[in-house]
Every structure is written in C-alpha cells, then in structure tokens.
C-alpha cells in the first residue's frame, strides 16, 4: 500500500517467498491468542469474537498461501 501511495515498486527475485516467510511468523506469533481462543470457544460450542477473528485471519492467510503456490490472484499478506 505504501508503494502504491508513493508510486514506487520494490521487487526482487524471491520477494513473494520472503513475504510468505515473514507473514507466517506474524500469523502464528500475533495470531496465537486468537487461534487458541477460537479452539477454546469451538470446543465449548460457544463461538464468539475469538472465533470470528481467528477464522478471518486463517482464511486470509491460507488464501494468500494458495495464491503463492496454486491460485491466480492477489495475496493478503499485507
């Protein structure tokens, strides 16, 4: 988004792989409380906000991984 604002593009060989690696770290480290909260809420059959957030970040992450390996489309790593 910042690159589009300044009309600048930073692209290099392996930039998608680097985005995948960094976003995997952020997904698991930053999303861990939401993911464990989602599992806990679903275990007790009481979905709430943790389920909503955990599901949303998981769908965005796994769709982005799919765009790297299999699908055509824009990733949501940002």
Count structural domains, the chain: 1
- Give me the domain span that covers residue 56: 10-69
pLDDT digits over 48-76, tens only?
999 999 999 999 899 888 988 888 877 77
Domain-located, residue 53:
yes
- Examine residue 74 and state whether it is found in any structural domain, yes or no: no
> Would 5 be classed as within a structural domain?
no
Between CA 10 and CA 24 the distance in angstroms is: 21
Say if 35 falls within a structural domain: yes
Query: Per the domain annotation, does 50 fall within a domain?
Result: yes
2 within some domain:
no
Four-residue CA torsion sign, 5, 11, 16, 19: negative
* Within-domain flag for 77: no
pLDDT for 44:
93
pTM metric for this prediction:
0.76
């Amino acid at each position: 988004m910042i690159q589009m604002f300044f009309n600048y593009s930073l692209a290099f060989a392996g930039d998608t792989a680097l985005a995948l690696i960094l976003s995997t770290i952020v997904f698991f480290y930053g999303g861990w409380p939401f993911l464990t909260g989602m599992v806990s809420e679903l275990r007790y059959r009481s979905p709430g906000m943790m389920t909503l957030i955990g599901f949303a970040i998981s769908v965005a992450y796994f769709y982005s991984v799919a765009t790297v390996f299999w699908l055509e489309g824009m990733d949501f790593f940002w």
